């Protein structure tokens, strides 16, 4: 059975989606993944992201957040 450990969970303020980040390791071992679970009512979207892709995603999101930090009401 794969090993899954919750890292953090929060709810988005404008859409109400629940976002959960998990460390996910396949039972056969190998590369760990960052599992991102997005829950909208009864529907789930799940991404399993490798470390390199997670870093790129984080860099893009951080740059965007810095650029728009003062835009939110």
Range of the domain at 26: 3-67
Residue 59 domain-assigned (yes or no): yes
Question: What does the block give as tokens for 52?
Answer: 């390199």
Q: What is the pLDDT of residues 6-17, one digit of tens each?
A: 999 999 999 999
Residue 52 domain-assigned (yes or no): yes
Which residues in the chain land under pLDDT 50? none
Rounded to two decimals, the pTM is: 0.85
Residue 72 domain-assigned (yes or no): no
Residue 32 domain-assigned (yes or no): yes
Residue 73 domain-assigned (yes or no): no
Number of domains in the chain: 1
pLDDT on residue 73: 59
Sheet holding 18-25, edge to edge: 3-11, 18-25, 33-40, 43-49
Give the start-end residues of each E strand in the chain. Answer: 3-11, 18-25, 33-40, 43-49
Residue 53 domain-assigned (yes or no): yes
């Amino acid at each position: 059975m794969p090993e899954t450990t919750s890292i953090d969970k929060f709810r988005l303020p404008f859409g109400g989606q629940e976002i959960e980040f998990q460390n996910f390791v396949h039972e056969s071992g190998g590369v760990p993944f960052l599992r991102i679970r997005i829950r909208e009512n009864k529907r789930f979207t799940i991404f399993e992201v490798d470390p390199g892709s997670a870093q790129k995603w984080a860099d893009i999101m951080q740059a965007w957040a810095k650029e728009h930090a003062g835009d939110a009401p």
